[in-house]
Chain A
Amino acid sequence: MQLIFDTLTGNTRRFAHKVADLTGVEVVALADADPRAPYLLLTYTFGSGAVPESTAAFLGQHSHWLRGVVSSGSYHWGESFGRAGDVISAQYRVPYVARVNKSGNAEDVRRVADWLQTHAANAAD
């Protein structure tokens, strides 16, 4: 499993690294990624509840190994908070692992780490 992140202002990158620090899972920037194995996508929400164009273009090519999604956002958007994750989750039928405010807190990191662990265990079955 890899963590592949997209970011504009750095929050998603910082969150991905916090998860990696706890789990040891490899982190790759979306621009450098060419996944050949399962990965968790970490992105952010833009526009009004939209998936960033860079993320959408990436998924257009690399959705095969997508196993789950995390979206950063900001709580100010209310109903649209982190909606990019809902959109991706519905479109590609993968779990929305965590909706994260900005660069996330310790609980968010733990939730994603737990999911990675469960996923790895299931994959080994």
Chain B
Amino acid sequence: MQPHTDPFSATNWSEPEDGFSTTFYEKYTSQLWFPEEIPLSNDAIVWKSLSDAERWTYIHASAGLNALDTLQGEVGMPALRHLVDGHIRKATIQFQGMMEDIHAKSYSLMNKTFLTTSEEREVFEWVRTQPQLQNKISIIMGIYNDPDVSNLGLWKKMVVSCMLETALFYSGFFYPLYLAGQGRMVSAGEIFNLIIMDEAVHGVYVALLAQEKFAEMNEAEQAYALAWYEDTLMRLYRNELAYTEMLYAEVGLVDEVKKFIRYNFNVLADNLGVERSFEDEEINPIVRNGIKAKGTTHDFFSAKGNSYSKIAVEALTEEDMDDIWPEPRRVTRKEPARTPLLEALAHD
């Protein structure tokens, strides 16, 4: 760490650094959710009715996603936060990193709910030894750790973050959406949908920052950057095809998953404002149904995600205060009902 020479400033939310980061920050805080809020007990029963092959694909797809979210939370977001300018941008990316850790915990909670301890260990060991998964991680990690922090270097880091969240996660997302689209494992499906919503916004935000960096490059740098993009994308795409063949062969969905991956690589291109890499294709209708089937199982939370949002906070008014503490201005006011905690404190 170098000692800083400029005076250190505070975060001024009244004079934002750009026209959009505050909106994203507020979007993140308002859609914050925790996996413990979505009970998986119904799915634990459904889980037992799945075939061995179905269970295998489901849990290994999730475990792979856990590793990638761990990578984003632990390496990707800290790297970007360190390198972007602006307190609000840094705060937004840091919040994003925390969301990644929450995603990773969701996957782990699913393992805990559905698997025996020895099955759980097997899955975590699989993550450490699965070649395509480790290859994907090391390609992305290599870019995050690349000492090049020029505009181009930073753009690359933003781009691999987007590649991960907007395209490479989807080999894992396919299966839970496919089952949820048939009304199976719908509570876990809800968690996947919340994660997908988060990633959809992350992907737009980091891509906006990347577009800005790209615009700051000169023509030669831009040409180099686009060639690097195509090359890296194809490397990751080929790896993803092999990963998909391994993960989905037994459940007979390899081609459908490959289509979904290409579709999402095109979404990535749109977010970054570059040419799409693949031909137009449709999303599998059952998967589309799995994305739509939200907020159906847990009405209490049905306001979060696309429909689930933290209860909007309004400033308290005088009347609200009166409701909370009846007649607050009277000196001898009515004692509030004592909770066990108050009771204990009163006796101290």
Known: A9-B273, A75-B288. A106 touches B204 (CB 8 A): no
Within 8 A of B (CB), among A98-125: 101-103, 105-107
Q: Is the CB of B273 within 8 A of A77?
A: no
Within 8 A of B (CB), among A1-19: 8-11, 14
Distance in Å: Cβ of A123 to nearest Cβ of chain B: 30
* Partner-B contacts on A (CB < 8 A): 8-11, 14, 48-49, 74-80, 101-103, 105-107
Residues of A within 8 A of B293 (CB): 78
Name the CB-closest residue of B to A102: B270
Asked if B267 CB lies within 8 Å of chain A CBs, one says yes
A10 to B294, CA, bound (A): 28
Interface centre among A76, A80, A105, by most chain B C-beta atoms within 10 angstroms, is A76
Interface centre among B199, B293, B306, by most chain A C-beta atoms within 10 angstroms, is B306
Name the CB-closest residue of B to A106: B280
Q: Is the CB of B204 within 8 A of A48?
A: no
Q: Is the CB of B211 within 8 A of A101?
A: no
Name the CB-closest residue of A to B291: A78
Distance in Å: Cβ of A81 to nearest Cβ of chain B: 8
Q: Is the CB of B306 within 8 A of A105?
A: no
Partner of B20, one of A8, A74, A75, A80: A8
Task: Add 8 more A-B contacts to A49-B306, A75-B283 (CB < 8 A).
Answer: A9-B273, A14-B270, A75-B291, A78-B291, A78-B306, A79-B306, A102-B267, A102-B270
Residues of A within 8 A of B292 (CB): 78-79
Q: Is the CB of B307 within 8 A of A76?
A: no
Distance in Å: Cβ of A4 to nearest Cβ of chain B: 20
Q: Is the CB of A107 within 8 A of B204?
A: no
Q: Is the CB of A77 within 8 A of B288?
A: no
Residues of A within 8 A of B193 (CB): 78
Distance in Å: Cβ of B36 to nearest Cβ of chain A: 23
Distance in Å: Cβ of B256 to nearest Cβ of chain A: 16
Asked if B92 CB lies within 8 Å of chain A CBs, one says no
Interface of B is mostly: helix
Q: Is the CB of B208 within 8 A of A9?
A: yes
* A-B pairs with beta carbons under 8 Å apart, 23 shown: A8-B208, A9-B208, A9-B271, A9-B273, A10-B273, A48-B306, A48-B309, A74-B267, A75-B283, A75-B288, A76-B200, A76-B291, A77-B197, A78-B291, A78-B294, A79-B294, A79-B306, A80-B307, A102-B267, A102-B271, A105-B280, A106-B280, A107-B280
Distance in Å: Cβ of A103 to nearest Cβ of chain B: 5
Asked if B196 CB lies within 8 Å of chain A CBs, one says yes
Residues of B within 8 A of A101 (CB): 267
Within 8 A of A (CB), among B187-226: 193, 196-197, 199-200, 204, 207-208, 211
Within 8 A of A (CB), among B287-341: 288, 291-294, 306-307, 309
A49 to B303, CA, bound (A): 12
Q: Is the CB of B208 within 8 A of A77?
A: no
Distance in Å: Cβ of A101 to nearest Cβ of chain B: 7
Name the CB-closest residue of A to B281: A105
